[in-house]
Amino acid sequence: MGKMSEEIFVRNDAPVRALIVDDSEDDTYLVRAELGRRGLLVDCRRVDCALDMAAALASEDWDIILADHDMPGFDALAALDVLKRSGKDVPFIIHSGQISDRQAVSAMYDGVDDFIAKGDYERLVPVVERELRGLRARRAVRHADSRIEQLAYFDGLSALPNHHLFCSKVADAIQESRERGRPPGGAVLVVDLDRFLRINASFGYEAGNELLRQVGRRLRAGLGPEIVLARLGGDEFGVFVPGASDRSAVEMLARWIVRSFDEPLLKDRVELFLTASVGIAMIPTDGDVVLELLMNAETAIGQVKLSGGNGLRFYERTMNAASAERLSMEADLRHAVERGELLLEYQPVVAAAQLKPVGAEALVRWMHPRLGRLSPDRFIPLADETGLIAEIGAWVLFEATRQARQWIDAGHERARVSVNVSAVQFAQPRLLEVVSEALRASGLPAGSLILEITESSLMTDVESAAGMLRALKNMGVKVAVDDFGTGYSSLSYLKRLPIDIIKIDKSFVRELCDNAEDAAIVRAIIALASSLQLSTIAEGVESAGQAEVLREAGCDCLQGFHFGRPGAAGLIRL
């Protein structure tokens, strides 16, 4: 934590802002002088009544409060009550000679951080420094909380609401209509940029990112404040028009969106022209569940694309060819395990200190007989929806533990294997039985198996999650929080749930070397994990520079393309 301490906790360039609650001006002067003589620069303000103290807390930020206890009509406990009512997080120290030890202990149970006898400056200085370190650590965590919330609900590229927040707003509007006894109404539009990949291929990804930002600004400027605009991902934007029921008015809006691309976008003074395809799903005609509406709007976009793009279509139920394809894939998935079509690839996880592999993450692939090699995002959601995840998840656990046992038998005694557990799989009590049986069948030590579970899976039902995690811990299995920072906007659950490892999401790592704020967030997460005695693994490490920053910050392990892409087990050189 050396680097972290230097950057977050040390602030010798600024005086400590101290609010002195005391009826003696002389004692206040003496506190400032004595602390300064001992190397602690203090900027003081004295108050001696509840009204003045409340005003001081409301008007300024303070680093610490030193309160005398015995004052006419006002004491330290009354001052503590003023602080509590303000809602401010400021360390509170009683600095008084007029309070008994019993009263002091009782006050500390009530929220006082420490008690120092008046005049004992040799003890006061280290106590103040300790409380300042704690305050700055809490502020760093709150800053990280805020940053994580921004990452969780807003698109980092365009600063627009992201897919998650868009879905929440649509769902909330539908639910509000129902609660008011009105049929839900509105329109969901998906805007897909035509042939956008050619921009990335011709001008590079940064040019593509700049154009996406311009598109977001152009659409936002032309849409009313009541309309929700979001970047859904890639080159897709979502538009939600609450309460819309007039198809002609919605069509007029969609036509404006299409025509808004008639004007060129600029990149380094070069004019670039784009077109867009717009799919429209009406509420409730085309659905009253947000994901269904998005899927139907996407289906409509497919019809626009077949006609060459640069147009719009309303969803129609005859456009359900995609649904037939989905049913066909579901039927194939039901036989994938028995037909031996699933396989595992492994991505190495390296120790940051030695940059040597200490294990690998198992990643499932499906060699579909007709569609070819499919990544998990193509079929795991379908497996979750249909209940097939139980069989597939069991196969992955048995195969991964068997492979890890082979690595250990080959002389790599400390090798570990990580297996992803979906939200649906984690919610099934049978998971414990499957894990236990996989360990027994393979002979793998429980401590060599890491189960990776997303934040959102853990937070769906915290109490049930805690029970499952305790059961896994009792078995000796390690638990990692996957995609840390993207599924929930608070860090408080880290101390509530029995976990072992934090996997820092790649969205934090991507701009680590270029974005000072992201670097500070990563350091704060690593420091927080260290203080909670949790290990850290950084995902998405794609350069030596990122690896070095993470290593210096104290990250335990690294994973990403810089150390190896997912591949066959034999390619992992532990």
Across 308-312, average pLDDT: 88
Which residue would you say has higher pLDDT here, 555 or 135?
555
Whether residue 478 lies inside any domain: the answer is yes
Q: How confident is the model at residue 119 (pLDDT cuts 50, 70, 90)?
A: confident
Range of weakest confidence among 46-60, 406-420, 439-453, 475-489? 475-489
Check whether residue 525 and residue 378 sit in a common domain. yes
Residue 253 and residue 147 in one domain: no
Of 574, 501, 570, the residue nearest 345 (C-alpha): 570
Average pLDDT over residues 308-313: 89
Claim to verify: residue 138 and residue 242 sit in the same structural domain:
no
Half-sphere exposure of 268 (CA within 13 A, CB side): 5
Q: What is the DSSP letter of 444?
A: -
Q: What is the mean pLDDT of residues 25-45?
A: 87
Mean predicted confidence (pLDDT) in 119-130: 87
Does residue 158 form part of some domain?
no
Share of the chain above pLDDT 90, in %: 50
Residue 326 lies in a domain: no
Are 205 and 107 part of one and the same domain?
no
Whether residue 501 is found in the same domain as residue 352: yes
Where does the pLDDT of residue 282 fall: very low under 50, low under 70, confident under 90, or very high at 90 and above? very high
What is the CATH classification number for the domain harbouring 222? 3.30.70.270
* 419 and 558 in a common domain: yes
Is residue 362 pLDDT above 80, yes or no? yes
CA atoms within 13 A on the CB side of 233: 7
Q: Which residues of 556-571 are buried (b: 16+ CB within 10 A; e: fewer)?
A: bbbbbebbbebeebee
Say if 334 falls within a structural domain: no
Q: 495 with 530, same domain?
A: yes
210 and 139 within one domain: no
Model confidence band, residue 491 (pLDDT cutoffs 50, 70, 90): low
What is residue 79's predicted lDDT score, i.e. its pLDDT?
Answer: 92
Q: Convert 447-483 to b/e letters by CB count within 10 Å (16 or more is b).
A: ebbbbbbbbebbeeeeeebeebbebbeeeebbbbbbb
In the predicted model, is pLDDT for residue 147 greater than 80?
Answer: no
- The pLDDT score that the predictor gives to residue 2 is 40
Higher pLDDT, 490 or 405: 405
Of 153, 183, 199, which residue constitutes the final position of a domain?
A: 153
Residues 25 and 147 in one domain: yes
β-strand pairing of 535-538 with 501-504: parallel
Question: Looking at residue 78, what is its pLDDT?
Answer: 92
The pLDDT assigned to 324 comes to 66
> Between residues 386 and 421, which one has the greater pLDDT?
421
DSSP three-state, residue 232:
strand
Q: Which residue has the higher pLDDT, 290 or 153?
A: 290
Mean pLDDT of the region 319-323: 63
Q: What's the domain range around 236? A: 163-319
Q: State the CATH number of the domain containing residue 502.
A: 3.20.20.450
Residue where one domain finishes, among candidates 108, 129, 153? 153
Q: Chain-centre distance of CA 293, in angstroms?
A: 26
CA pair distance 68, 112, nearest whole angstrom: 12
Residue-averaged pLDDT of the chain: 87
Q: Which of 239-248, 272-281, 493-502 has the lowest mean pLDDT?
A: 493-502
Report whether pLDDT(461) > 80.
no
Shared-domain flag, residues 312 and 450: no
Residue 123 maps to a domain = yes
Are 416 and 549 contained in the same domain?
Answer: yes
Residue 490 has pLDDT above 60, yes or no: no
| Residue 11 pLDDT level (bands cut at 50, 70, 90) | very low
| Selected residue with higher pLDDT from 38 and 176 | 176
CA atoms within 13 A on the CB side of 239: 28
Domain-located, residue 394: yes
Poorest-pLDDT segment among 42-51, 73-82, 320-329, 362-371: 320-329
pLDDT at position 345? 95
Average pLDDT score over residue span 409-415: 89
- Residue 405, pLDDT score: 96
Q: In total, how many domains does the chain have?
A: 3
Q: How far apart, in whole angstroms, are the C-alpha atoms of residue 18 and residue 53?
A: 12
Three-state DSSP class for 147? helix
The domain boundary residue, chosen from 153, 183, 218: 153
Residue 399 lies in a domain: yes
Other C-beta atoms lying within 10 Å of the C-beta of residue 397: 25
User: Would you state the pLDDT for residue 497?
Assistant: 85
The whole-number pLDDT of residue 486 equals: 63
Residue-level pLDDT at 485: 65
Specify the amino acid at residue 39: G
**What are the E-state strand segments in 165-222?**
186-193
Confidence of residue 110 (pLDDT cuts 50, 70, 90): confident
Q: What is the pTM of this model?
A: 0.49
> pLDDT at residue 430 above 70?
yes
pLDDT at res. 199: 75
Q: Is residue 4's pLDDT more than 50?
A: no
| pLDDT given for residue 38 in this prediction | 82
Region class of 387: left (phi > 0), else alpha (psi between -120 and 50), else beta:
left
State whether 172 and 52 are in the same domain. no
Residue 323 pLDDT > 70, yes or no?
no
Mean pLDDT along residues 489-509: 80
Q: Do residues 4 and 553 make contact, with C-beta atoms less than 8 angstroms apart? A: yes
Answer whether residue 111 is part of any domain.
yes
